[in-house]
Structure 1
Amino acid sequence: MTARQKSSFPKHFLWGAATAAHQVEGGNHNQWTVWEL
């Protein structure tokens, strides 16, 4: 077996995250796309 190499992120790396309302609040089985127009 070989040893794992240590990996790291760049010095000024910033984490981020995103989500959409229908992912959090539910309601995936409705006609929400009609309201997007």
Structure 2
Amino acid sequence: LRVLTKRGIKADAAEVASNPRARSATLRVGEKLAGEGDD
């Protein structure tokens, strides 16, 4: 697994204003690498 974002991506102020639950959400992105055990 290769991490594509060093830190999680947080919702901006506009998103939090329209959706208060987005305040606690964090998006983390990773890429699955080909390796042992993959078909």
TM-score (norm 2): 0.28
Pair member with larger Rg: 1
Query: Which structure has more strand as a fraction of its residues?
Result: 2
**Structure having greater relative contact order (Cα 8 Å, sep ≥ 6):** 2
TM-score (norm 1): 0.29
